[in-house]
A and B are shown apart, each in its own frame.
Chain A
Amino acid sequence: MSTATIDVPEVPTGSRVNYLNAQYGVKSWLFTTDHKRIALLYLVSITLMFFIGGFFAVLMRLHLIEPQGALVQPETYNKLFTMHGVIMVFFFLVPSIPATLGNFLVPLMIGARDLAFPRLNLISWYIYVVGACFTLYAVISGGVDTGWTFYTPYSSSFSHTSVIPTAVGVFITGFSSILTGLNFVVTIHKMRAPGMTWFRLPLFIWAIYATSIIFILGTPVIAITLFLLALERLLHIGIFDPAIGGDPILFQHLFWFYSHPAVYIMILPGMGVMSELVTCFSRKRIFGYSFVAFSSLSIAIISFLVWGHHMFVTGQSIYAGLIFSVLSFLVAIPSAVKVFNWTATLYKGSISYDAPMLYALGFIGLFTMGGLTGLFLASLATDVHLNGTYFIVAHFHYIMVGGAVMAYLGGIHFWWPKITGRLYPDGWARFAALVIFVGFNLTFFPQFMLGYLGMPRRYAVYPAEFQVFNVMSSAGASILGIGYLIPLIYLTWSMRYGPAAGPNPWGAKGLEWTTPSPPPTENFEEIPVVTEDAYDYAESTVNRG
């Protein structure tokens, strides 16, 4: 992709040298400290992981077409859902928006020339790759079957699969998250352009800042937890195994202390992307800027207080369950603030249905469904019925795929002209957005019904009466899979053959749109001085071009 050159009249002659064509060759990519190039390195890596994880999902859904299982042995099925979960959570969703769009956009949006620690940024990508290699080694060496949650005592004492290599991979990748978060926090505090006050920051930056806090505070705990798991597995030190003095529920406490906030690592940056998309394509200021900004921070903080809702039926004290239930309901408040504020922003807006906006509108609906079904699960009594069923699977896929992946794709489509300097075919992009929306709902809506009717998750076989819903879900998954392949094809195509994009093809506000597409290596010819609030769409009409 480094060979995409821009030599068309729309680009001012002085800025023809950009970050993509400033240097050539493999070395210029592998040793780059340019945040934009590192973002692209991440983009390639996580896209690869996304399709590997997706491949496992496809195999799973094919298997579940028949009640007795159509494709693989039950042991293999256990490995399929584990590796799907591990790869999608730790190697796609967690780094997805922060490491690609965040890396690319944070300096551009605040008017800086790079992140605060460019070399730390590069090493974080290498750490990610090393972690991914360990996990892929685990996949090749026979896979792992514990589920992505690694629950003890199964993972520590009984599983005969590659638990340690997988855990080491996740452990290593965690450091990549910590370094990325640290870099963002320091950059946002210290490197804002003159006039870029905290309350003039784009809401994407607020969301990335909140995410970074979770990265820094939460990730060390999962690292320690997996380290303890490895200690017990290798040296039989009694930490989680009750037979040697441990407590298996302690593992769940430590695991979910990170892994519940990790859900917000996945969705908060998506919410940041949403605020950018909704304002741009309805040509309005965001409704209630400070509410949206502070709801990001309050989600980040409350996310650390709710982890016990994963453990209502696993032996946790009922009294702790009561506290966690109440605290879990609190997260609904800032989440709802965001949804209502985006909807209020749309009100009387001049809405256009470009491809990124289709993803944004999809996000609002799907995230709302995912969030509200979360309340069913935060209620102690209904959770007893729904826990461990496909209802849970549907719920978190509505958040993580219907929410986070939709926002990620919306963001990629929105900033693609800025990243590559090229436009993609709009018709195909809208078509793909619709295919993904339809495929997603057909895959996961039947799973709500399956779960409510009592079909447990993680089983390779099921009673025959559940077959109709399972076949619907598998049909949806194949549509969804095609929906994800279409953008892969036309976005790759557009890098070489797409028409050149001007600096601001959407007529959007924000500093990143004031610099040429693709931006020069140093981002701005001169450091901009900010004189207006974010999303100042009302006062001036910005022309596309």
Chain B
Amino acid sequence: MSEHIVPVSLYIGIFVALLCLTALTTGVAYIDLGAFNTVAALAIAVVKMLLVVLFFMHVKYSGRLIQVFILAGALFLAILITLTLADELTRHWSPTPTGWGMFVPFLSRLF
């Protein structure tokens, strides 16, 4: 539980980095990357989140137990997203039933 002393210069450095990444997000928004628009925005957001968690929230200097709890939070967020996508991405796999009409071509061949 010992307090880790972090130099102020590091905090300022992280703050500047966060500002730069915010500017980058804004800049990227003006470039059309197609399917990668969201990917790019999320990737920058994750980097910013890591900087805040590791340095501002002192997780980099904390004990193992705290790091395990932080990772558990990330793991459960991953579960939320994965299982929700398991629904979202497979919803259109099954053909939509169109009533008895779907049997008409099949039946008309028989008779």
Contact = CB atoms under 8 A, between A and B. Distances in A.
Contact of B80 (A213, A216, A221, A249): A221
A305 B94 CA distance: 23
Interface in B16-72: 65, 69, 72
B76 A304 contact: yes
Nearest to A318: B94
B73 A250 contact: no
A440 B45 CA distance: 52
Nearest 8 Cβ contacts at the A-B interface: A320-B87, A319-B90, A317-B91, A317-B90, A253-B84, A320-B86, A317-B87, A217-B76
A534 B93 CA distance: 53
B10 interface: no
Interface in A172-189: 185, 189
Interface of B: 65, 69, 72-73, 76, 79-80, 83-84, 86-91, 93-94
Interface in A186-202: 189
Contacts of B73: 216-217
B70 to A, nearest CB: 11
B47 to A, nearest CB: 22
Interface in A308-357: 308, 311, 315-320, 323-324
A316 to B, nearest CB: 5
A324 B80 CA distance: 13
B83 A305 contact: yes
A390 interface: no
B90 A320 contact: yes
A316 B88 CA distance: 8
A217 B83 CA distance: 16
A250 B84 CA distance: 8
A217 B76 CA distance: 7
Most buried by A among B73, B83, B93: B83
Contacts, number: 55
B72 A217 contact: yes
A284 to B, nearest CB: 34
A347 B27 CA distance: 71
Given A189-B65, A217-B72, A316 B87 contact: yes
Given A217-B73, A317-B94, A304 B87 contact: no
Contact of B83 (A213, A247, A249, A323): A323
Contacts of A319: 86, 90, 93-94
B79 A253 contact: no
A315 B90 CA distance: 12
Given A217-B73, A217-B76, 6 more contacts: A218-B76, A304-B79, A305-B83, A317-B86, A318-B90, A323-B86
6 contacts: A213-B72, A250-B88, A257-B80, A317-B90, A320-B87, A320-B90
B87 A308 contact: yes
A317 B76 contact: no
Contacts of A315: 91
A534 B80 CA distance: 37
Interface in A234-284: 247, 249-250, 253-254, 257
Nearest to A321: B87
Interface string A152-172: 000000000000000000000
A213 B76 CA distance: 11
A318 B90 CA distance: 8
A318 B93 CA distance: 9
B45 to A, nearest CB: 16
Nearest to B84: A253
Contacts of A216: 69, 73
Nearest to A258: B80
A253 B72 CA distance: 20
Most buried by A among B72, B84, B87: B87
Contacts of B80: 221, 253-254, 257
A320 B93 contact: no
Contacts of A316: 87, 91
A249 B91 CA distance: 11
Contacts of B79: 304-305
A317 B84 CA distance: 10
A249 B76 contact: no
B108 to A, nearest CB: 29
B5 to A, nearest CB: 23
A253 B76 contact: no
